Structure 1
Amino acid sequence: MELILDRVSVARGGVPVLAEVSLRLAPGRALVLRGPNGIGKTTLLRTIAGLQPPVAGTIAGAEERVAYAGHADGIKPTLTVAENLAFWASVFGTEGIGAALAAYQLEVLGWRMAGTLSAGQKRRLGLARLLVTGRPVWVLDEPTVSLDAEAVGWFAGAVRTHLAAGGSALMATHIDLGIEAEVLELSGHRAVLPALDDFDGAFA
């Protein structure tokens, strides 16, 4: 089942940022969003993940199929690494965390409290969470932040495995991961801001 955006417009804090964005993401494929900082990549990804509604347009194929990894790592600091993954597995109704631990070399850290991990280790744990969701569409916002070169390679390997199994990935990243992916440049989708004298329109 494809993820389809049809002329989607999004706003941040009530201010339009992107307009008329359309895309199709088929199973087994990856797509990278590109554009300057502040253009609205995060806002678009959060909208696709269902964290906020679009201003206009339609999104199909997301519903309960999306696993989202944003700037926050989504971990519970008072649980161990293994307990964090077990918690998320229970939330999504999946079983087994061994593959997720192995994908990001977390086995030796399984007993550590998540709150004591380094920034890179926390990021690896946050990304490992995707592997226990069982969801086919990964929506990823700058997923390699805080990762060293070796961990970036582990992430790229996890994405390749996910795609090979029929999953898909939509990412905002400036790093070449060595993954075959389409690119959607968002610069041409900047929203036209309301005129300064259109007070009501600015908050529509």
Structure 2
Amino acid sequence: MEFQVTDLAVARGGLTVLQGLTFALAPGQALILRGPNGIGKTTLLRSLAGLQPAVAGVISLSPDAIAYAAHADGLKATLSVTENLAFWAAVFGTDRVDQALDAMNLRALADRPAANLSAGQKRRLGLARLIVSGRPLWMLDEPTVSLDAASVSLFAAVVRTHLAAGGMALIATHIDLGLPEARVLELGPFKAEGQLSGTAAGFDEAFA
């Protein structure tokens, strides 16, 4: 199962921000999205994940094949770490809770309510949902926010395991995740004419 994007254009606030995007991901491959704040990385990922319509172009995979990790961790504060993962396992129809606990080093926190976790621990739990999903394509928007260096390395190892099993990953990030095999796609050349830049673009992106 390959992920193909052909001549894609996406919009934010009614204005096209990126256009002419064409790329492909085969099983076992990762692609890093790069570009300045406000260029449209989040808008692109949301469109690819089926959360908002694209302006033009073709996306080959159904959203049902995609697990999308956005800026929010998507946790239920009153549920424990295990209960949060069990909730998502039920949603996705999988039995990967134990695998996710071990992979993201959450076993010692298994019974702790999500409300009592640190920012970094919440982020690890949010990312553990990807493992629970069982879906082949992971889309990640700045996944390492709030993570320390050790947790970034842990997450990179999880991504490598996913790729080795035939999964795919599309990641918007400004930092080096230690994935030398990943290709990089610079979004600058695909910026649509008339797109905002600088502070104004960043402000708009926050509310996309």
Could you state the TM-score of these two structures normalised by the residue count of structure 2? Answer: 0.91
Task: Report 1:58-137 matches (<5 A).
Answer: 58-137=58-137
Paired residue for 2:206?
A: none
Paired residue for 2:189?
A: 188
Q: Is the 1:48–1:62 Cα contact (8 Å) retained in structure 2?
A: no
For 1:139, the aligned partner's letter is M
CA RMSD, 1 decimal:
1.0
Distance in structure 1 (CA, Å) of the matches to 2:110 and 2:36: 37
Ranges in structure 1 where 5+ consecutive residues have no aligned partner: 195-204
With 161-170 and 53-62 compared, the bigger mean Cα shift is at 53-62
Ranges in structure 2 where 5+ consecutive residues have no aligned partner: 196-208
Distance in structure 1 (CA, Å) of the matches to 2:40 and 2:164: 29
For 1:191, the aligned partner's letter is A
Over 6 Å off, 4+ runs = none
How many residues align? The count is 194
Paired residue for 1:166?
A: 166
Distance in structure 1 (CA, Å) of the matches to 2:78 and 2:47: 29
Q: Are residues 3 and 62 of structure 1, via their aligned partners in 2, closer, same or farther at CA, if it must alter by over 3 Å?
A: farther
- Where 1:42 maps in the other structure, the secondary structure is helix
Deviation per CA, 1:34-54, whole angstroms, max 9, x where unpaired?
A: 111100001000111110010
Q: Are residues 72 and 103 of structure 1, via their aligned partners in 2, closer, same or farther at CA, if it must alter by over 3 Å?
A: same
Task: Report 1:10-49 matches (<5 A).
Answer: 10-49=10-49
Q: Is the 1:120–1:146 Cα contact (8 Å) retained in structure 2?
A: yes
Paired residue for 2:142?
A: 142
Larger radius of gyration: 1
- Where 2:44 maps in the other structure, the secondary structure is helix
- Where 2:171 maps in the other structure, the secondary structure is strand
**What is the identity percentage for the equivalent residue pairs of Structure 1 and Structure 2?**
64
